[in-house]
Amino acid sequence: MNTVRYRQAIGIGLVTAWSVFYCAISSNLPILNKMELEIQDNLIRLHKPGLMPKEILLLKIEQPAIPGHNSHNLYKLNLFYAILVKSLINSDAKLVVINLPIQMSQYIDIDTDTQLEHPFKELISKYSNQIVLVARPSNLPSEKSVIYDYHNLLPFDNESINPSIPPEQIVSYFRYAAHPQSLDSPARKAELVSNFSYEDYPDINIHHKVKSVATIALEKFYINSGNLKGFQNITNLQTLLYFQMNFWGSADTFPSIELHFQCPSSQLEIEHCSPSFDPQSLQKLHDKLVLIDLPEGKGFETYRELSPFGEMSVGEVEANQIASLMTHSFLTIIPNWFDYIITTLGIDFISLYILSQGKKHKLIPVYLLVGWLLLILVGSYVTLSFILFYQGLMLPLSIPILGWLGTGSVVAIYSILKQSTQQQQKLAERQAILLQSRKLLHRVATDIHDGPLQELKLAMDSIELLASFWADVRSRKVPAFTHFC
């Protein structure tokens, strides 16, 4: 009994070790990640997140919209965005989220021209509660992530080396995808808060808590709108590590406005131009959360994110992130350790069931047991995944199911081979027993022939002689007793 239990414990240990090894390896296999990505994208395309929030508005900038623009003229670039943002705020926009081009991270050299001012700093100083700057951190989350905090755009006090407005109050982040076709792509998996080191700080080892663009944008928008309940909801959600964003459709789904600049006919310099919106666009700006997308065109580095609905601009992905949190239609992602537990329990159950039932139901083929077991287990898990998906929880599918199918098939083959070996052994034992029985019967027959059979033959010969003797006596009519004596 102890030997049986010991073998069972070893078997369970080996199966568990295999399942953990499988999870660790499979989570890093590109082919499985791609398969899981396609499954999740198909589910998200089928999912209907509800009505699109009307508070979000996109503003896309194309290079020709910037008159007299030179991407290397930092002063003109600063002035362009300062005029644009001020115009949006004056048009009753509640909040303006600005995706700045990479050129804006450079400092204006005021030493060479003392006449150059910092219009963007003045804008931030005056409207800090209505502006959110979006920075681009390192691609992957880690303790050593570094973010640029736009030190060159923040206002400073004369007697302080630190900004008068802490970067955490105005600077947010949006991660760019290192690998577009990845489960960790920001077009699918988003964060609410993360820790970063500031690139311009003397001590890069000091970490700062920075909120994502969706988090800080909604916080400021709700405060400016007087929506305390919405602000409390977004604050409570910050306990989530990640969330799977939802999409309302392909690119250009969210409403957007066109940007025009009115310039004097004789002047094309931006200093003499002002942004202009048509009457319909002005009505759209009222009480809106405006997302200024990255400029596109010659002289700008264009970033596109690969979403379940195809390529999208950064601003469009951010709009879907904000809308997912605003409508509470995002999907919760289970942690990796939960994925390990699901896969391990399934593999252990399949292995133990096949091995135990194979001994009890010897008349039922193993492949039938395995087939029915896998059909019931996989079907139940897929049904549960669909139910939970529509309740807002996304379970992994490819890694557990492939692990269960592979392990079940291997254990079934092992069980079939084991049964075949046992049957061959039993057949060989039967043949040996039959051969031994034949040998024993032959020996018994030989012994009978050599012993009792000879004695019986002698007895029969004696009887025949005695019968002949009596016949002879009778024919001669001699008394038997006399003759016998």
Tell me how far apart the alpha carbons of residues 13 and 1 are, in angstroms, rounded to a whole number.
18
Residue 172 belongs to a domain: yes
Residue 234 belongs to a domain: yes
**Cβ 165 vs Cβ 202: under 8 Å:** no
Cα angle, residue 318 at apex, residues 62 and 103 outer, rounded to 5°: 45
Strand partners, 253: none
pTM of the model: 0.75
Residues 314 and 345 in one domain: no
List Cα–Cα distances, 374 to 14, 92, 218, 351, 380, in angstroms.
21, 60, 46, 11, 10
Residues 159 and 190 in one domain: yes
Residues 323 and 351 in one domain: no
| Domain edge (last residue) among 288, 307, 328 | 328
| Domain edge (last residue) among 404, 423, 442 | 423
Residue 291 belongs to a domain: yes
Tell me how far apart the alpha carbons of residues 405 and 177 are, in angstroms, rounded to a whole number.
32
Task: Count up the domains in the chain and report the number.
Answer: 3
Residue 381 belongs to a domain: yes
Residue 31 belongs to a domain: no
Residues 305 and 352 in one domain: no
Residues 156 and 300 in one domain: yes
Beta-strand relationship, 189-191 and 131-135: unpaired
Residues 182 and 323 in one domain: yes
Digit-by-digit pLDDT tens for the chain (485 residues) are 566 566 667 767 777 787 778 777 877 777 888 888 888 888 888 877 778 899 999 998 765 545 444 545 677 777 788 888 888 898 889 999 999 887 777 666 554 444 445 777 888 888 989 999 998 886 555 556 778 778 778 887 766 667 778 888 899 998 876 666 677 677 778 888 888 878 767 666 777 888 999 999 999 999 999 999 989 988 888 888 788 888 888 888 898 887 766 665 544 455 556 666 777 777 788 889 999 988 775 555 667 788 888 888 888 999 999 999 998 888 887 877 787 888 888 888 877 777 676 555 555 566 677 778 788 888 888 898 888 888 888 888 888 888 888 877 777 777 777 777 777 888 888 888 888 887 787 777 776 666 666 666 777 777 777 777 777 777 765 554 444 44
Tell me how far apart the alpha carbons of residues 36 and 28 are, in angstroms, rounded to a whole number.
12
Residues 199 and 342 in one domain: no
Residue 35 belongs to a domain: no
Residue 287 backbone class (left: φ over 0; alpha: ψ -120 to 50; beta: rest):
left
| Domain edge (last residue) among 296, 328, 360 | 328
Residues 392 and 477 in one domain: no
Residue 27 belongs to a domain: no
Residue 414 belongs to a domain: yes
Residues 370 and 470 in one domain: no
Q: Which domain holds residue 457?
A: 452-484
